[in-house]
Amino acid sequence: MKKQKTKENATANRNRCFQHAFKNRTNKHRAIKKLQSALPRTPVKRAATLATYLDRTCSPTVKKLQDFNIITSPEESSDTEVAKAVLEDIKVAVNE
């Protein structure tokens, strides 16, 4: 239940952040169509292209996405991995 509320809050936050990025729905639709036509046709290549672009931390677009918590920064990713490892260690200690 708590996880669902967190996802809903994140979605609402994204909608608020990008609400006024386009003047109307048509402009947004045209921009998405241009993006889709510019990306490679195959899903694997398309995913690889987007993943490579999102790995660039110097990009202003990527920084903006990180600010809005749409993607995680490398620091946040490493913090999450450490937290998962600590939780796993605690679980093992409690179960023994």
**Residue 14 domain flag:** yes
**Number of compact structural domains in the chain:** 1
Please give the structure tokens belonging to residue 6.
Answer: 């967190």
Strand, coil or helix: 41: coil
CA dist 6 and 35 (Å) reads 29
**Residue 84 domain flag:** no
pTM: 0.57
DSSP 3-15: HHHHHHHHHHHHH
**Residue 79 domain flag:** no
Please give the structure tokens belonging to residue 84.
Answer: 């998962």
Domain with 66 in it = 2-71
Tens digit of each residue's pLDDT, the chain (96 residues): 555 666 666 666 666 767 778 889 999 999 999 999 999 999 999 999 988 888 887 888 888 888 888 888 878 888 888 999 999 999 988 987
Side chain identity at residue 90, one-letter code = I
